[in-house]
Structures are given as structure tokens and as C-alpha cells.
Amino acid sequence: MRADARRNRQSVLDAAYEILATEGLGVPIDEIARRAGVGAGTVYRHFPTKESLIEAVVLNRLHALTDKARSGIDFAEFFTVMVEAGLTNRAIADVLAGGGYQIPADADAALHAAFAELLQEAQQRGTIRPDVTPDDIQALVIGCVATARHRGATALVQVVVAGLRA
Amino acid sequence: MRADARRNRQSVLDAAYEILATEGLGVPIDEIARRAGVGAGTVYRHFPTKESLIEAVVLNRLHALTDKARSGIDFAEFFTVMVEAGLTNRAIADVLAGGGYQIPADADAALHAAFAELLQEAQQRGTIRPDVTPDDIQALVIGCVATARHRGATALVQVVVAGLRA
DNA sequence: CTATAATCGGAACGGTCGCCCCGTTTTTGA
DNA sequence: TCAAAAACGGGGCGACCGTTCCGATTATAG
């Protein structure tokens, strides 16, 4: 791979990460290209479709979240970490909410499984009510991100966490 | 006003109400026109802009909700009514979430005020925690609609309502 | 019944966006 | 250095959508 190609590829990734985080998945490819200092054609040579670029940018964020879930963190803490991730990074919020683009099933499943493990642990310890399922939690995260976006802060997440206690 | 014009106007309103409720604000005007059995030009003669059509359709829904809030209903009950309104009617959910189109400030303010009254009442009676504001409630409604949409039901709203109790 | 004016429908316009094409530039290895 | 190969960039295509335009149609007053 030629040196300039590798350099441009990285520029596109950096620009895409930055803009997708602040603007969400709706941002035009041309804007990412402009920010990266390349033409739109260059973006499409490195990433054959907009979806593939989004995937490349979002995947390691999801992996980082999965790692965080496996780092001995508490369920309630990780819940707020997820909401903060969605609040900080609009692209994350959009993919969690299933907004148009799909993420590889395995990455989604890994995050889901890690989160489910934390939930089950907390339920066995008796700190979280036993009648909520992992899918419920995912839906609540999405809702909390929507809530937090409209208040510009995550303070209200504590209301939901309080409602989750046993 | 000519008879056919009045008839077409009503057809457009009916079709728009139906499609906007199921598809949300993103539906093209052409589709509403087709469903109403008229041309797109006819829609635009009666409603100069897409926003004005949406406004005409959504406004009386919001007024109905405001009336419901003033009908002696309980705060927690009305909270679930609002979420159900957003779940049943995508257009309502979209405007509540501020999705692109704006609603006249007075209708929004009336609903907001009625909801705030219910909240204050419940807080004085000691059933709802005193540290949440009316704006918090609106944000929580939006979040609950997002949650409910991803689970296809409003059962999880009870988690949030539980978290709201004093 | 007919003239007039209101109304109609759908083709057309302008703007946006994802994606492709291709003449031009740049890298690279011999 | 230089020629082949790789990469570049931006104009252009097709699709979608809100909105406008205008020739054809239809309701209604006299």
C-alpha cells in the first residue's frame, strides 16, 4: 500500500470519527472528505460504502465499551457509562437506536452478552429488580440517551437507575 | 369554497393523519397525496407547506392530550398516557422529540403547563420525588417513548415511574 | 346551457446525497 | 531518472423530496 494512500486512509478515519461523533450518522460523505482534506472519490476507494466507513469508526468504540463491561465494573455504573457514550458520541447513539445503519451482529452480541452478565450478577446480589431482561436494559439505555440529549446531561439517568433497584 | 375543494381538503387531512401516525414525519407529500386520491399540487393548495399540514394534523392531538391532563387524571397515569400517545402515533413522538418540525409555542406551552400542574400536585402530596422539574418530565417522556418503541410495549415505563416515586 | 373562475393533477424544478468515472497527479522501484 | 502502476479529486449520474407551474377539468352563478 502506497504511503500517501495509508496517510489519506487515516485522515479519513480521523475526520469521520470526529464528525460522526458530533453530527451523527446523517452527515454527508462530502463533508467528511472535506474535513479530511481529500476528495469524495478517495473516501470511496478506501471504504466502498458509507456504511462500511461508519462500521470502521463505530466498531472499536463498541469494543471499548465491551472491554469496559468486562473490567469488573458495577452494573449501575456501566449503565451510566453506556448512556454517557451515547450522549458524547451521536454515532454511538444512532447505532444503538438502530438508526438506519446496522452493525455486525457479533460486536453487538458481545456487548449485549457482557451487559447481560453484569445484570445477572446484580440481580443475584439482589440490588436490581429481577423482572427486567437484558433486552429491557438495552431499550432503557436507548431511552436514557434520548432523555439525556433533551436535558443536555445525564443526571436523570439516576431516576431510571433508582427505578431499577430491587 | 367549492364543494370538491372542501372534500379534497378533508381527504388530505384524513390521509395525512393516518400515514403520519404510522410512518412519522418523514413520509413524502406525494404518498399522502396518493393515499388521499389527489395530486401533490392539490395538497399544496390547501396547505402551503409540509410543515403546515403536519401542524394541522398534530395540533388537535396535542389539544386532546392537554384536555386529558385537565380531566382530573393522576400524574403517573398521565405520564403513561403521554408515552402511549407517542407509541401509537409516530408523528406525536417526532414532534415531542423536536424532530425537524416545530409546533406552535402556545400549544406546546399549554400541554407543558397542564403537565407541570399535575407534577406539582403529586409532589405536594408526596408521591413523586421533589427534585424533578417539569422539563425533566418532558425529557423522560421522550426517553420512555424511545424505550417503548424498541420493546414494542409500554411495560418498561413502570420502571421509570417507580424511579420517580418519592 | 354557458361563461367564468376556481380547482385539479402531475410534470418539472432545484437542492441534497450516495456513489461512480476518468483525466490527472503522485509514488515507487529499477 | 523515468515509466508503470497506484491513487487522487471533483464533476456527474441517478434517486429522492419539497415545492411550483400550467394546461386541462370541473363546479357554479346567471
What end-to-end distance do the CA atoms of chain A give, in Å?
56
Residues A89 and A155 both lie in one domain: yes
Name the strand (E) or helix (H) holding B57.
helix B50-69
pLDDT digits (tens, 9 = 90+) for A103-158: 999 999 999 999 999 999 999 999 999 999 999 999 999 999 999 999 999 999 99
CATH of the domain at B68: 1.10.357.10
Residues B23 and B77 both lie in one domain: no
C-alpha cell at A98: 438502530
Q: Which residues pair with B128 in a beta bridge?
A: B165
- Residues making up chain A, counted from first to last: 166
pLDDT given for residue B100 in this prediction? 82
Residues B141 and B92 both lie in one domain: yes
Question: B159, A156: Cβ pair inside 8 Å?
Answer: no
Tell me the CA–C1' distance in angstroms for A19 and D12. 26
Tell me the CA–C1' distance in angstroms for B7 and D30. 25
Tell me the CA–C1' distance in angstroms for A121 and D21. 66
Residues A28 and A93 both lie in one domain: no
Q: Any idea which residue has 463498541 for its cell?
A: A62
Question: B159, A164: Cβ pair inside 8 Å?
Answer: yes
CB half-sphere exposure, B99, CA atoms < 13 A: 17
**Cα dihedral sign for B130, B135, B138, B143?**
negative
Q: Which of A155, A106, A153, A113 is nearest to A134 (CA)?
A: A113
Please name the nucleotide lying closest to A9, CA to C1': D7
pLDDT given for residue B99 in this prediction? 82
pLDDT given for residue B50 in this prediction? 98
pLDDT given for residue A32 in this prediction? 98
Residues A158 and A78 both lie in one domain: yes
pLDDT given for residue A100 in this prediction? 82
Residues B44 and B62 both lie in one domain: no
Residues A76 and A38 both lie in one domain: no
Q: How far is CA B153 from the centre of its chain?
A: 17
Question: B151, A136: Cβ pair inside 8 Å?
Answer: yes
Evaluate whether A103 touches A55 at the Cβ level (below 8 Å).
yes
Per-residue pLDDT of chain B (166 residues; tens, 9 = 90+): 999 999 999 999 999 999 999 999 999 999 999 999 999 999 999 999 999 999 999 999 999 999 999 999 999 999 999 999 999 999 999 999 988 898 999 999 999 999 999 999 999 999 999 999 999 999 999 999 999 999 999 999 999 999 999 9
Structural domains counted in chain A: 2
**Strand C bases contacted by the protein (CB, 7 Å):** 6-12, 16-22, 26-28
The beta-carbon neighbor of A151 closest among B98, B135, B162 is B135
Domain hosting A4: range is 1-48
Residues ≥6 apart with Cβ < 8 Å to A67: none
Long-range (24+ apart) CB contacts under 8 A made by A93-98 are A93/A24, A93/A145, A93/A149, A94/A24, A94/A25, A95/A25, A95/A54, A95/A58, A95/A62, A96/A138, A96/A141, A96/A142, A96/A145, A97/A142, A97/A145, A97/A146, A97/B146, A97/B150, A98/B150
pLDDT given for residue B41 in this prediction? 98
The beta-carbon neighbor of A147 closest among B139, B148, B156 is B139
Which one of A12, A28, A48 terminates a domain?
A48
Would an 8 Å CB–CB cutoff place B153 in contact with chain A?
Answer: no
CATH of the domain at B44: 1.10.10.60
Q: How far is CA B23 from the centre of its chain?
A: 14
Residues B13 and B29 both lie in one domain: yes
Residues A147 and A71 both lie in one domain: yes
C-alpha cell at B108: 406546546
Residues ≥6 apart with Cβ < 8 Å to A155: none
pLDDT digits (tens, 9 = 90+) for A50-108: 999 999 999 999 999 999 999 999 999 999 999 999 999 999 999 999 888 889 999 99
Residues A21 and A66 both lie in one domain: no
Residues B67 and B21 both lie in one domain: no
pLDDT given for residue B135 in this prediction? 97
Residues of chain B with C-beta less than 8 angstroms from the C-beta of A143: 143-148, 150, 156, 160
Name the strand (E) or helix (H) holding A89.
none
Q: How far is A22 from chain B (nearest CA, A)?
A: 17
Residues A35 and A64 both lie in one domain: no
